[in-house]
Chain A
Amino acid sequence: GNSVTQMEGPVTLSEEAFLTINCTYTATGYPSLFWYVQYPGEGLQLLLKATKADDKGSNKGFEATYRKETTSFHLEKGSVQVSDSAVYFCALSEGGGSYIPTFGRGTSLIVHP
């Protein structure tokens, strides 16, 4: 079956530091890949996505590249802000009739001023 593995947190950074959150996946077909963000007390919301190999998703300064050869989709941001503090989930979804999203365990990011 499908699975997503992401680095455990919490990740603690100072403002303006560089962020990387690693994500690797196992899938039977050719999934779409996603990063979702969850702010305290809220549901998940889409941060960025990539639908095929070598695609780069980007949003709000965050980027991730779909690497089929290494089955990875690492999240990066060049300069984090306090407002980026949240939990980040890597996920995949395949077609085939149900589109069931499979999520990683989530990585908590804490950014200090």
Chain B
Amino acid sequence: NAGVTQTPKFRILKIGQSMTLQCTQDMNHNYMYWYRQDPGMGLKLIYYSVGAGITDKGEVPNGYNVSRSTTEDFPLRLELAAPSQTSVYFCASISGTVNTEAFFGQGTRLTVV
């Protein structure tokens, strides 16, 4: 199994540009999450989804959007990129039915200049 796959691994954006961070899981997990990780600040939840067609805001949703059209995919969209969005982004998934530990992707390191 590939687990949780994120693309791209690295990206540099100019202020005002937009991009989509891709996240795919092949474990048939219902629950998926997007976090951002800033130095010394731990992980902050951006958006989450409890199943296809259902999404909800986390702690820091401003400047981001998500969709969940299938169980496997949970892309994160950045519109009008700002320097404050420079961070490392992690996607995670949880089964919920079998167990509750989170499986993480390798992360996307985004720099906005």
Question: Contact residues of A with B, CB < 8 Å?
Answer: 32, 34, 36, 41-46, 49, 51, 89, 91, 93, 95, 97-101, 103-106
Contact = CB atoms under 8 A, between A and B. Distances in A.
B80 interface: no
How many chain B residues sit at the interface, stated as a range, is 20 to 34
B90 A99 contact: no
Contact of B90 (A44, A95, A97, A100): A44
Given A42-B106, A42-B107, A43-B4, 17 more contacts: A34-B101, A34-B102, A43-B105, A43-B107, A44-B102, A46-B101, A46-B103, A91-B102, A93-B102, A95-B96, A95-B100, A98-B31, A98-B48, A98-B50, A100-B58, A101-B33, A104-B42
Closest 3 pairs (CB-CB, A-B)? A43-B104, A105-B42, A103-B43
B41 interface: yes
A51 B99 CA distance: 10
A105 B100 contact: no
A103 B58 CA distance: 13
Interface string B13-42: 000000000000000000101010000111
A91 B102 CA distance: 10
A42 B3 CA distance: 14
B100 A32 contact: yes
Given A34-B101, A99-B31, A103-B43, A43 B106 contact: yes
21 contacts: A32-B100, A34-B102, A42-B107, A43-B4, A43-B104, A44-B43, A44-B102, A46-B102, A51-B100, A89-B42, A89-B43, A93-B102, A97-B50, A99-B31, A99-B94, A100-B33, A100-B48, A100-B58, A103-B43, A104-B42, A106-B40
Contacts of B41: 105
